[in-house]
């Protein structure tokens, strides 16, 4: 019924490589020093003041009150990139509500309840490796005061090893995580959980919020707070199994606190939890440090591409915890109902000493090369530091947002000029340019975006809705819909469009849905026969699952020719929830610093802006044996579009 809702442990993410050290130490971050004026440059917080957003009732033409979002500010001109960034950041979508969706789309089924005392029962499980959902028969292995352990029928299991893992989870892992990361969630230590061991591929384990619902609401539901562990990839009794169990338990509790957190935050804090539980560190650090141009605030769509993302997220939260209060900082992130960078930014500002989340991220990027804080020496031992690339006199590179490109400057003489050039604007999404603004559904995990309006079809015998669409949605898991209602929004029916699908391999498609990615703008036609003769509501609607989201869905030039209606930029008759009208141009933020590692602390020199899209600095004098690198980081939020950076180094 709803989109897939799975948080998994990557096969690469819990190989135990090294122990976490110094997580709770505090000190003041080093101020940048150098010959250029030192100041905070391109701070995300400066131009992106969030406008006030409030829920406001709106009465449709049917007389039914529906929710909308009112932005209490004067809309910026469509050609204003700063104004567009404000609109985008003030756009918020609601958490996906599986029960309401099942009711509204008439998808509630009658299913016999499961006997909670039975020694065997059916479970619906997902195999992320095959992207398939199927049922298994499970038998009860162990029942304690707070945990039921089930094993898939027909599988050979090391009973002694499983008993050791479950005992450790109940006596050590769960209490440590409950007290360290979930002190405000009493259920963390006492809620009854089911651990199901089954043969699935691609992962060590997973938590799925779908399991919380009965199968009458979500077809693949199990009516349980449940963690699945893979017998194929994690042997019970092993460190890998124990770490995976800690990771997935963290996901379960995250979902208790915030059902629509961004994947990179959920995965990064779950990897951090492995160390909090005393089980070592996540195993994907090296994958990230070999690929520092990995976008921190995004995720990989395919499992095989995820290790660098796991490593980036885990190292960021490990570094942030060291700087901002240890487990207590991560606990604040987990329970905060905000999302992603915006939520972390608010927490960072409260805790200090950083002025913004971008300041913290920039410090972390410098640490990955220069090891700024010796206590947290995660770039030594079994994990290498980031290597800087050699640079020609002029080099052009493509760098994702919230990632870093490192350029070696050691061979250049003191006083050599360093120039960084980039386009001053960046696209919000990869959709081809259009002459007029269009609607964009906010990207995110575990959310719903809705764009609704009344339409009067009482005087026509036929009608068609025509529009152009562009979308980048996780295929077969995230869907967009065009829906109609003739009872004021109490119930809805999806409508078939030119490129919608009815296939539903992962229990995510509400009927006729858009999914996957389009090569460009696509013309769509929807026959409105079910609504003809009525005063009706039409809705563009996007529903995403809990993990990974693409750039989103865009709608342009909607019209119903039979009644002479066409959407225009100043049309105020829409009920807007999680959509924003955009021109697809936002300001490109870039930070660039020169880092010179030192025995005590590195020297950090900030390049200064001279013109829009240009930063300038000079290579400092180096002592014998010293090295230096330029770090360039694009820092525009929300967008997945990379920045094209040209770096020029010239002799003095």
- The mean pLDDT of 16-44, rounded to a whole number, is 31
Distance CA 488, CA 267 (A): 40
pLDDT score recorded for residue 378: 72
Distance CA 237, CA 244 (A): 11
pLDDT score recorded for residue 66: 32
C-alpha dist (Å) from residue 31 to 40, 44, 242, 363, 589: 10, 19, 41, 10, 21
pLDDT score recorded for residue 34: 32
Distance CA 292, CA 578 (A): 31
225 pLDDT more than 70? yes
488 pLDDT more than 70? yes
379 pLDDT more than 70? no
- The mean pLDDT of 359-384, rounded to a whole number, is 77
Hey, what domains does the chain have and what are their CATH numbers? 117-257 (3.10.170), 261-387 (no CATH), 394-426+587-650 (2.60.120.680), 438-584 (2.60.120)
pLDDT of 255-269, one tens digit each? 999 989 999 999 999
Is residue 25 very low, low, confident or very high in pLDDT (cuts 50, 70, 90)?
Answer: very low
User: Which pair of structure tokens corresponds to residue 475?
Assistant: 């295929």
Q: What is the pTM of this model?
A: 0.88
pLDDT score recorded for residue 375: 62
CB atoms within 10 A of CB 258: 20
182 pLDDT more than 90? yes
DSSP 502-547: ---TTS---SSBB-SB-SS-EEEEEE-GGGTTSEEEEEEEEE--SS
Distance CA 531, CA 537 (A): 9
Asked if omega into 195 is within 30° of 0 (cis), the reply is no
pLDDT score recorded for residue 20: 30
Phi, psi (degrees; rounded to nearest 5) at 31: -75, 140
Distance CA 96, CA 48 (A): 27
38 pLDDT more than 90? no
627 pLDDT more than 80? yes
Local structure of 157: helix, strand or coil: coil
Is residue 438 very low, low, confident or very high in pLDDT (cuts 50, 70, 90)?
Answer: very high
Q: What angle do CA 173, 176, 179 make, to 5 degrees?
A: 145
pLDDT score recorded for residue 6: 63
pLDDT score recorded for residue 132: 82
What is the residue-averaged pLDDT of the chain?
A: 87
Is residue 391 very low, low, confident or very high in pLDDT (cuts 50, 70, 90)?
Answer: confident
- The mean pLDDT of 517-526, rounded to a whole number, is 99
pLDDT score recorded for residue 73: 37
C-alpha dist (Å) from residue 642 to 76, 263, 365, 582: 24, 19, 17, 18
- Closest Cα to residue 621, out of 38, 30, 35, 39? 35
Beta strands in 11-104 (DSSP E): 53-59, 65-71, 94-95
- Closest Cα to residue 554, out of 528, 580, 587? 580
pLDDT of 528-586, one tens digit each? 999 999 999 999 999 999 989 999 999 999 999 999 999 998 888 999 999 999 999 99
pLDDT score recorded for residue 571: 84
pLDDT of 57-116, one tens digit each? 333 333 333 333 333 334 446 789 999 999 999 998 999 999 999 999 999 987 778 887
435 pLDDT more than 80? yes
309 pLDDT more than 60? yes
Q: What share of the chain has pLDDT > 90, as a percent? A: 75
Confirm if 482 and 496 have CB atoms less than 8 A apart.
Answer: no
Is residue 46 very low, low, confident or very high in pLDDT (cuts 50, 70, 90)?
Answer: very low
Distance CA 555, CA 449 (A): 13
DSSP 356-410: SHHHHHHHHHHHHHH---TTS-TTSTTSPPPPPBP--SEEEEEE-TT--EEEE-T
376 pLDDT more than 90? no
Furthest C-alpha separation in the chain: 85
- Closest Cα to residue 528, out of 565, 581, 575? 565
pLDDT score recorded for residue 68: 33
Strand partners, 55: 69
User: Which pair of structure tokens corresponds to residue 121?
Assistant: 């029962």
C-alpha dist (Å) from residue 615 to 14, 402, 520, 606, 621: 40, 18, 34, 9, 20
pLDDT of 243-254, one tens digit each? 999 999 999 999
Residues in the chain: 652
Distance CA 212, CA 190 (A): 17
C-alpha dist (Å) from residue 254 to 7, 59, 312, 314, 351: 10, 36, 19, 16, 21
Distance CA 51, CA 91 (A): 10
């Amino acid at each position: 019924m709803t989109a897939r809702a799975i948080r998994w442990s990557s096969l690469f993410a819990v190989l135990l490589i090294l122990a976490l050290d110094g997580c709770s130490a505090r000190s003041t971050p080093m101020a940048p020093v150098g010959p250029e004026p030192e100041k905070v440059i391109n701070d995300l917080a400066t131009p992106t003041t969030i406008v006030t957003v409030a829920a406001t009732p709106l009465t449709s033409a049917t007389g039914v009150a529906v929710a909308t979002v009112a932005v209490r500010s004067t809309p910026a001109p469509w050609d204003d990139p700063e104004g567009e960034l404000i609109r985008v950041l003030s756009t918020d979508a609601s958490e996906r509500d599986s029960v309401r969706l099942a009711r509204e789309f008439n998808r509630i089924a009658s299913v016999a309840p499961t006997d909670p005392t039975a020694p065997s029962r059916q479970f619906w499980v997902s195999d992320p490796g095959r992207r398939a959902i199927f049922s298994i028969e499970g038998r009860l292995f162990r029942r304690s005061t707070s945990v039921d352990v089930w094993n898939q029928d027909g599988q050979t299991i090391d009973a002694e090893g499983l008993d050791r893992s479950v005992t450790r989870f109940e006596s050590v892992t769960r209490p440590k995580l409950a007290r360290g990361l979930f002190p405000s969630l009493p259920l963390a230590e006492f809620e009854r959980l089911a651990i199901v061991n089954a043969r699935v591929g691609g992962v060590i384990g997973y938590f799925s919020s779908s399991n919380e619902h009965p199968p009458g609401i979500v077809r693949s539901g199990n009516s349980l707070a449940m963690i699945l562990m893979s017998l194929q990839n994690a042997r019970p009794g092993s460190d890998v199994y124990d770490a995976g169990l800690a990771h997935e338990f963290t996901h379960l509790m995250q979902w208790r606190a915030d059902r629509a957190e961004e994947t990179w935050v959920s995965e990064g804090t779950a990897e951090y939890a492995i160390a909090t539980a005393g089980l070592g560190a996540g195993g994907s650090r090296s994958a990230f440090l070999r690929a520092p141009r990995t976008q921190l605030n995004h995720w990989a769509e395919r499992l095989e591409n995820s290790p660098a993302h796991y490593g980036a997220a885990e190292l960021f939260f490990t570094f942030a915890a060291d700087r901002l209060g240890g487990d207590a900082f991560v606990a604040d992130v987990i329970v905060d109902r905000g999302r992603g960078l915006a939520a972390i930014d608010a927490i960072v500002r409260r805790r200090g000493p950083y002025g913004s989340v971008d300041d913290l991220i920039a410090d972390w990027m410098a640490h990955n090369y220069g090891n700024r804080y010796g206590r947290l020496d995660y770039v030594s031992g079994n994990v290498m530091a980031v290597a800087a690339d050699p640079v020609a006199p002029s080099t052009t590179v493509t760098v994702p947002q919230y990632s870093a490109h490192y350029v070696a400057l050691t061979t250049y003489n003191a006083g050599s000029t360093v120039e960084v050039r980039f386009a001053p604007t960046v696209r919000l999404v990869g959709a081809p340019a259009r002459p007029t603004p269009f609607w964009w559904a906010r990207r995110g995990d575990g959310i719903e975006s809705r764009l609704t309006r009344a339409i009067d079809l009482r005087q026509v015998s036929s009608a068609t809705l025509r529009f152009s669409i562009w979308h980048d949605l996780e295929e077969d898991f995230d869907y967009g819909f065009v829906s109609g209602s003739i009872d004021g929004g109490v119930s809805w029916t999806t409508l078939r469009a030119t490129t919608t699908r009815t296939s539903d391999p992962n229990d995510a498609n509400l009927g006729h849905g858009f999914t996957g990615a389009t090569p460009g703008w696509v013309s769509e036609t929807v026959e409105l026969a079910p609504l003809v003769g009525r005063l009706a509501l039409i809705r563009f609607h996007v529903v995403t699952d809990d993990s990974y989201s693409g750039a989103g869905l865009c709608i342009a030039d909607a019209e119903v020719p039979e009644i002479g209606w066409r959407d225009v930029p100043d049309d105020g008759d829409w009920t807007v929830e999680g959509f924003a009208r955009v021109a697809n141009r936002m300001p490109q933020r870039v930070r660039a610093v020169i880092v010179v590692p030192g025995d005590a602390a590195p020297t950090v020199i900030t390049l200064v802006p001279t013109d829009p899209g240009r930063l300038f600095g000079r290579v400092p004098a180096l002592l014998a044996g010293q090295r230096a690198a330029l770090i360039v980081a694009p820092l525009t939020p929300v967008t997945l579009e990379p920045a094209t950076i040209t770096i020029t180094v010239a002799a003095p």
